[in-house]
Amino acid sequence: MSDSFPQSIDVRALAEAGAQLEGHAPLTLFARLMDLARDNRASEALLETLGPVHWVATFLAVRVTGAADQPTLHLQVDAQLPLQCQRCLTPYAQAVLVDRDFAFVNDEATAEALDDESEVDLLVSSRQFDLVALMEDEVLMAMPIVPKHDVCPGPVTLQVGEVVDEPAKPNPFAALAALKAKSPGSDTRH
């Protein structure tokens, strides 16, 4: 594995060579992921304990019937992100795994036209493709919508505005029905 990270790559050349790139990238390389840690000082301390982002990018040229070879990418990313639990409001390390396939086309119009019938996500091929941005996008989309511990490390305190279960109140119409049933001459038949 390599610790160097290619900022821009030639997708078609890597696919034709059947190249596999892999390595480690510091979380600090991903600006939007770093914003998650900066939102919370406790998460900043946790950030110091997290390891690098591990990634593998496998490029292949796949033969498409009646067309030229189509460049493809199989991307795997394994990251630990410093998030804040929305239940107990303490920071924790959230494992995020990405395992996705992509196919490359020549332009945006082709991607839009083929998107509905394609089983994989379509991207526009480039000689200066930004692999860092793609990895960051995929990690952000793989994050949980509501980050939380599986089991919080301490008791969870109630927050202002949180609904507390109240005992059920008796139905006032039930008492009225009981009075009506007890009164003499209350014949319910019509």
The DSSP bridge partners found for residue 25 are 53
User: Per this entry, what is the length of the chain?
Assistant: 190
Beta-carbon contacts of residue 26 (< 8 Å; ≥ 6 apart): 52, 53
- What CA–CA distance (Å, rounded) separates 37 from 43? 5
Q: What is the pLDDT of residue 137?
A: 95
- What CA–CA distance (Å, rounded) separates 80 from 64? 37
Closest by alpha carbon to 74, among 123, 113, 29?
123
DSSP state letters, 39-83: T-HHHHHHHTT--PEEEEEEEEEE--TTS--EEEEEEEEEEEEEE
* pLDDT tens, residue order, the chain (190 aa): 445 667 789 999 999 999 999 999 888 888 888 887 666 565 667 777 788 999 999 999 987 655 678 899 999 999 998 888 888 888 888 999 999 999 998 888 877 777 777 778 888 888 889 999 999 999 999 999 999 998 888 887 765 665 556 667 777 777 777 777 776 665 555 5
Residue ranges of the alpha helices (H) in the chain? 11-17, 31-38, 41-47, 108-114, 131-142, 172-182
**What does the block give as tokens for 98?**
């990405």
